[in-house]
Structure 1
């Protein structure tokens, strides 16, 4: 812990970025796929954490980020919805966050993690739709989105190259045509 004399603590742990409640927050800049960059480097703007949005605002903001090739940042938007929304919708938003993280890993070249998370997210979102009895929650075509995720998972497993996140971003409210 820190020194009580008011001097420098010298501890690496004390130098971590903290929020107002003392929780660690990494303020390092990040690239479009969420990878940390060195302090002082130019990164892309981070998504603020803990933002409460309507479901429609969540879908629109996540789609904008996906279209920009920033699935890691879209994941953070979905994570806010999963943490702040009603309990009965948590699995939907968690599944969508997993899809965005799966695309992030696929774009980073992590074939195994990307394919696994794409499938897990598709399964979670479909399970939520089945349990909730809602065909198109907030206009999201979950069946098309799950088909997109499974197709991309197969492609990621076959191909050695990382995918272009912006070019392969899904349409949350209607599938994007082909690869």
Structure 2
């Protein structure tokens, strides 16, 4: 397919318009006989977070990770590894759904490493539960002699649920919704560093 024939957004940037299954795999145009991934357009970072959690709990991990990326892109420096670790757990769920056990193990390992620098509870998330789930999944996936059954946890929200703040020092969510950034904070502020891989 020539570059001119590629699917494009209104602003001219490339975008995949083919339908995707619930695990994010592209399908032939016109496919409608399988559950498809839906596009979600949250109005704020907080809405993206709540939607990502709901999709995670419905085991729609591909869609959950897409929503949670809005949170990661808006996060202050001190929380970027945290939200990236959360997203990596969701992406590990996608790999499990695709029967890519090596990919799932790699993502669970990276997520546990990213989350290791945060307290047991952070931004309304039970980080300790998430780390424990990652370590348990890696152990199960590493045991080549066992039948692999990795139980995927519901999103580990504490009472009051997960919350986002653009203020690194905040101890509670902001009073007003946080607008979705047009670009990740690290890019919008002109930092010359490359984004870290998440999957």
Q: CA deviation at 1:161?
A: 5.6
Matched length: 153
Distance 2:45 2:4 in 1: 33
The question of whether the paired residues in 1 share the 8 Å contact of 2:85 and 2:110 is answered with yes
Distance 1:60 1:101 in 2: 17
Note the 1:129-168 alignment, pairs <5 A: 129=118, 134-158=119-143, 168=152
Give the RMSD, CA atoms, in angstroms: 2.3
Runs of 4+ in 1 over 3 A off after TM superposition: 157-163
Q: 1:90 aligns with which of 39, 61, 80?
A: 80
Who is 1:53 aligned against?
A: 45
Q: 1:106 aligns with which of 79, 90, 96?
A: 96
Who is 1:177 aligned against?
A: none
Query: Which has the larger Rg?
Result: 1
Q: CA deviation at 1:135?
A: 4.0
Q: Closer, same or farther in 2 for the Cα pair 1:169/1:101, shift >3 Å?
A: same
Of Structure 1 and Structure 2, which has the larger fraction of its residues in helix? 1
Who is 1:25 aligned against?
A: 15
Q: CA deviation at 1:51?
A: 5.8
Q: Closer, same or farther in 2 for the Cα pair 1:124/1:51, shift >3 Å?
A: farther
Is there any run of 5+ residues in structure 2 with no aligned partner, and where?
159-199
**Greater relative contact order structure (CA < 8 Å, 6+ sep):** 2
Residues 64-85 of structure 1, C-alpha deviation per residue, up to 9 Å, x if partnerless?
1112121111111221111122
Is there any run of 5+ residues in structure 1 with no aligned partner, and where?
1-10, 175-179
